[in-house]
Amino acid sequence: MRYRETGEVHLDFHRTANGTIEYIGRHYGREFLDEIFRRTAQDVYRAVREEMRQGNAESLVEHWAYFFDREGGQYRLEREGDTIRMIVDRCPAIAYLNERGIPVAEHFCRQTVVINETLAEGSPFEVTTEVQGGGKCVQTIRRKGGAERSEG
């Protein structure tokens, strides 16, 4: 996997990202933030996006799991047919901010939503993110035209 940093984890990155998202959202709006997130998916995660376009979602699953494992996130992966779900019970970024009393930016989780959607563009997959609040979410990869998903 290309995106596998192995040096010391500097979780204060999450504080910086949070502050940046808050500032840009407040001064330039959500549409501008979404464009930044789209470009991040297109440029920074280009290899994952290309794998998705070629019909391989495993590089995205590996990416998710690697960083959640590395940062002590709590999640589980569920597979059912052409559907893969990552059920996040503890997002390490949100936990880091909460543990320090730092308010989470209004659009902080939007980065996950937009990056996931953008990674799926032009691929045989759709990727949805159900933000549940409090550092919990469900990220779902499914083949387009697959069975209906259940919201629950």
Q: Identify the CATH number of the domain in which residue 138 sits.
A: 3.30.1380.20
Q: pLDDT band at residue 13, thresholds of 50, 70 and 90?
A: confident
Residue 71 in any domain: the answer is: yes
Residue 30 in any domain: the answer is: yes
How many structural domains is the chain composed of?
1
Residue 135 in any domain: the answer is: yes
Q: In which element (H, E) is residue 16 found? A: helix 12-28
| pLDDT per residue as tens digits for the range 42-99 | 999 999 999 999 999 999 999 999 999 999 999 999 999 999 999 999 999 999 999 9
Residue 92 in any domain: the answer is: yes
Q: pLDDT band at residue 6, thresholds of 50, 70 and 90?
A: low
Residue 108 in any domain: the answer is: yes
Q: pLDDT band at residue 1, thresholds of 50, 70 and 90?
A: very low
Residue 29 in any domain: the answer is: yes
- pTM > 0.75: yes or no: yes
Share of the chain above pLDDT 90, in %: 84
**20-49 average pLDDT score:** 97
Residue 3 in any domain: the answer is: no
Mean of all residue pLDDT scores within the chain? 90
Domain that holds residue 68: 12-143
Residue 82 in any domain: the answer is: yes
| pLDDT for the residue 148 | 47
- Say if residue 21 is exposed, middle or buried (CB neighbours under 10 Å; 0-12, 13-18, 19+): buried
Q: Which residues touch 97 (CB under 8 Å, ≥6 apart)?
A: 14, 15, 18, 103, 104, 108
Q: Which residues touch 101 (CB under 8 Å, ≥6 apart)?
A: none
